[in-house]
Amino acid sequence: MTYIIAAFAVSFLVTLLVIRAHLARMHVLEPVPGIRRAERARAAERHGPGRAGGIGVAAGLLASLLARLFDDASLALDSASTGLMLLGCAVPVFAAGLLEDFTHRVTKRVRLAAALVSAVLAGYVLGAWVTRLDVPVLDAACAVPLVSVLITCLLVAGITHAFNIIDGFNGLAAGVAALILLGIAYVAFKVGDVPVLAASLTAVGAIAGFMLLNFPRGLVYLGDGGAYLLGFWIGVLLVLLVGRNPGVSAWFPVLLCAYPVCELLFSIYRRGIVRRSHPALPDLAHLHHLIYRRLVRWLVGTDLPAHLIQRNSLTAPYLWILTSIGVAPAVVFWQATHALQIGSALFAAAYIYAYARIVKFRAPRWWVLRKPRRPERH
């Protein structure tokens, strides 16, 4: 618990420093004729310190893991070294995302390459290779070393980018990551995998420190660097948990991460097949964008800055609930492959159903947040 609190405190303090740097940067913005200060401030938030909240999360993880090195408990050194090696492996993808946050000049290919490099490093340093998928034909393929490396890179890089895709609103990606990490921690506790348990809970502490300043007011954002770091952290921990514990089904990560995985795969389908455009091109048709525009805007419908922030913060809880629908059965049936497979299929169907209903303006009334009607005066 001490190290979780340390991660929380350091993450909070470092994020505060990031906010201070961001405010100082906004203060020195030179006035531009015809552009209001509020508009210049919003433009500044799109890159630079305003999107560097991931630095606080990384600092919280690093401080907690370094402190654990001096603990004389039996498994403290093992968990600390595992966490530090994992953080070291995350440096390429975290750095690429951070550079994109500050410069907006890092291409998608470079960031993908950085994710692949981090995945390979984690495989070689931590032995985090996918060796089974609990599907007979695919398990035979995973026995081939080259195939195992390729599948590991694909899955870890995929979940890393999935968290960057869902990072669109205050508290969204960080809250989803915290829920998934708690699921990982629970199963790691059940099987006695202390390093994975410690790494998961430490990350939850670091996320909590960041969330205090991100949700609901949006004083700072996670940014590409923070989203990539959390996605990579979760991806590698899941590979380690399944690989080191035969009792954990390989389908546990699928249902646990069902929301970000569905968002990634559906985005690729929607862009690449339906629209016949490049799958990596950004758009505003993700599920969280639809919820923002079509479910919560009726409660706070004006374009005043305070109302925009309030509407922004009302979006994340929808996706936290959706994430919980995958996390809850995953932690209950973490050993039952068939139940996890059925759960994954049902979640995917529910995701597509919800997306279709919202995009066609046919969402059930109880999904939509509206202002209560004032009683008529007679």
- The Cα diameter of the chain in Å comes to 79
Q: What integer pLDDT is reported at residue 193 of this predicted model?
A: 94
Domain-located, residue 377: no
- Determine, yes or no, domain membership for 67: yes
Residues 6+ apart with CB under 8 A from 14: 55, 56, 59, 60
Spell out the residues 6+ positions from residue 145 whose beta carbon is closer than 8 angstroms to its own.
none
The residue written with tokens 């996605």 in the block is 231
Counting Cβ atoms within 10 Å, is residue 38 exposed (0-12), middle (13-18) or buried (19+)? exposed
For 331, residues 6+ apart whose C-beta sits below 8 A from its C-beta are 183, 186, 187, 256
Q: Is residue 57 part of a domain?
A: yes
What is the distance, to the nearest Å, from the Cα of residue 348 to the centroid of all Cα atoms in its chain? 18
Q: Can you tell me the distance from the alpha carbon of 40 to that of 274, in angstroms, rounded to the nearest whole number? A: 36
Alpha helices in 52-90 (DSSP H): 54-68, 76-89
Question: Which are the contacts of 195, defined by CB distance < 8 A and separation ≥ 6?
Answer: 75, 78, 79, 82, 83, 240
Answer yes or no: are the C-beta atoms of 45 and 104 closer than 8 Å.
no
Q: Looking at residue 377, what is its pLDDT?
A: 54
pLDDT per residue rounded down to tens, the chain (378 residues): 788 888 889 898 998 888 877 777 665 544 444 434 434 434 444 556 778 889 999 999 999 999 988 887 778 888 999 999 999 999 999 999 999 998 888 998 999 999 999 999 999 999 999 999 999 888 888 889 999 999 999 999 999 999 999 988 889 999 999 999 999 999 999 999 999 999 999 999 999 999 998 898 888 889 999 999 999 999 999 999 999 999 999 999 999 999 999 999 998 888 878 777 777 677 778 888 888 888 887 666 666 666 677 778 888 999 999 999 999 999 999 999 999 999 999 999 999 999 999 988 888 887 776 665 555 554
Three-class secondary structure of residue 270 per DSSP: helix
Q: Is residue 247 part of a domain?
A: yes
Judge contact between 64 and 10, C-beta under 8 A. Answer: yes
Distance from C-alpha of 93 to C-alpha of 233, rounded to nearest angstrom: 11
Q: Which residues contact 51 (CB under 8 A, 6 or more apart)?
A: 45, 101, 220, 221, 222, 223, 224
* C-beta of residue 316 within 8 angstroms of C-beta of residue 172: yes
Alpha helix (H) residue ranges in the chain: 2-27, 37-45, 54-68, 76-89, 91-103, 108-126, 136-142, 145-165, 172-191, 194-214, 223-244, 252-256, 258-269, 287-294, 305-313, 316-332, 337-359
- Could you count the other beta carbons within 10 Å of the beta carbon of residue 339? 17
Would residue 375 count as lying in a domain?
no
Query: Is 87 a member of any domain?
Result: yes
Residue at 378 is within a domain: no
Q: Is residue 372 part of a domain?
A: no
The SS3 of residue 203 is helix
Q: What is the CA radius of gyration of the chain?
A: 21
pTM: 0.91
- Structural domain range at position 334: 2-367
Residue pair 233/199 in contact (Cβ under 8 Å)? The answer is yes
- Spatial CB neighbours of 166, under 8 Å, sequence gap ≥ 6: 172, 173, 176, 227, 259, 260, 263, 286, 288, 319
Report how many domains make up the chain.
1
